Amino acid sequence: AMEDVSAKFVSQKISRTRWRPLPAAALQPPDIFATGSWDNEDNRISIWSAGDLGNAGLNGEYHGEPHLLCDIQHNGDVMDMQFLDQERIVVASSTGTVTIFRHHQNNQTLSANHRWEKAHYHVDQDTSYGGAACTGVVCNNPEIVTVGEDGRINLFRADQKDAVRTIDNADSSTLHAVTFLRTTEILTVNSIGQLKIWDLRQQRNEPSQIFSLAGDRVPLHCVDRHPNQQHIVATGGQDGMLSIWDIRQGTMPVSLLNAHEAEMWEVHFHPSDPDHLFTCSEDGSLWHWDTSTNVSEKPSFLHQGGRSTAYLSHSTINQSVVSAWLSNDPTKDRMEITNLIPNQTLSVNSLDVLGPCLVYGTDAEAIYVNRQLFA
């Protein structure tokens, strides 16, 4: 219910929110998260604590709001960010620069640890105005892959000054997002509705596979890979549609699901419970897609507060392989979709989910934390 959500107004438009990864053996829920801002005169990278769990009330409900631990100025809009490890965060800028910031937990400060100036550029790297936005970054420590509106793909290593590999004309259109498929393969999505797989072991500068949306070639803005079934990929587009792809099959999505009324900015499978998927949009909504079995028999906490819940008949989905997302099990006749933000306002630009916790950021200059996602 909405009372599990705490809000913090931050006087900056938030473009990215990311939980700090938990140590492997951690039992506690996530607490530290980072945000990046955009469209402000002075953009910032900020580190927050989600709040004091010691404030939990008698029934375990959570009181308190996120509080700022430290922040640092960032040049340009934050286009994307990802934790490299517990202390370092890789940030993609609209100026084309990629920076690694280090969070010093002993004295709660942030510092710029390493910077690749103009990792992305339009004309040449040396002109003062030639930067092209770095639109996406993904990390698999120590490796960092970046993509940009210049159609370039860079592979960096956290400890090396120069790029390990650059594919200069990887795409003739803007690359919007990137994710790892496996340690040597990445997936990119672009502004003409294509999903491409690149094998970083190959010296060729061509993708090993190309998939595309039929017809209108709607720009794809975001991508995420199923954490356990690496052939299942979700993308979100400019038209708000959610596409599910099986990269073992064909060149088109296996499912196209009507979702948001405007651009979908991020899509994330829950990392440890991937029957749950989350999407957010320019239309001010954040959707929780639940394909876990026996939806009808679960005690539904999803109907409180007048939330809209839509049921999708699975018969509309092309049945091909057995997975919650590509299911041909006739007993699974529906998927439950819940808008976690009933009174929509401005764009929800980013979300991240870890354990029972969701964090999201908006153009309404606020960050929100829900610590009881599956309550």
Q: What is the CATH number of the domain that holds 114?
A: 2.130.10.10
- 312 within some domain: no
Q: Does the pLDDT at position 328 exceed 80? A: no
Average model confidence (pLDDT) for the chain? 86
- 277 within some domain: yes
Residues 346 and 219: their CA atoms lie apart, in Å, by 21
Find the domain containing 189 and state its range.
Answer: 5-293+319-370
pLDDT of residue 302: 37
Read off φ and ψ for residue 297, nearest 5 degrees.
-90, -10
* Range scoring the smallest mean pLDDT among 74-88, 254-268, 307-321, 354-368: 307-321
Q: State whether the Cα torsion 50-54-57-60 is positive or negative.
A: positive
274 preceded by cis ω (within 30°)?
Answer: no
- 307 within some domain: no
Q: Does the pLDDT at position 300 exceed 70? A: no
Residues 224 and 178: their CA atoms lie apart, in Å, by 8
pLDDT of residue 337: 87
Higher-pLDDT residue of 291, 133: 133
pLDDT (mean) for 254-266: 92
pLDDT of residue 205: 92
pLDDT (mean) for 292-309: 42
Q: What single-letter amino acid sits at 97?
A: T
Q: Which one, of 220, 226, 227, lies nearest residue 243 by Cα?
A: 220
* Range scoring the smallest mean pLDDT among 3-12, 50-59, 112-121, 256-265: 50-59
pLDDT of residue 343: 78
pLDDT class of 3 with cuts at 50, 70, 90: low
Model pTM score: 0.88
* Range scoring the smallest mean pLDDT among 51-55, 101-105, 145-149, 247-251: 51-55
Q: Which one, of 170, 173, 204, 203, lies nearest residue 187 by Cα?
A: 170
Read off φ and ψ for residue 81, nearest 5 degrees.
-160, 150
- 232 within some domain: yes
| pLDDT tens digits, 36-92 | 999 998 999 999 999 765 555 555 555 678 999 999 999 999 999 999 999 999 999
pLDDT of residue 330: 33
pLDDT of residue 358: 96
- 311 within some domain: no
- 304 within some domain: no
User: How many separate domains does the chain show?
Assistant: 1
Give the contacts of 118 (CB within 8 A, at least 6 positions apart): 95, 96, 97, 125, 130, 131
Q: Which one, of 319, 303, 322, lies nearest residue 311 by Cα?
A: 303
- 302 within some domain: no
pLDDT class of 320 with cuts at 50, 70, 90: very low
- 357 within some domain: yes
pLDDT of residue 318: 37
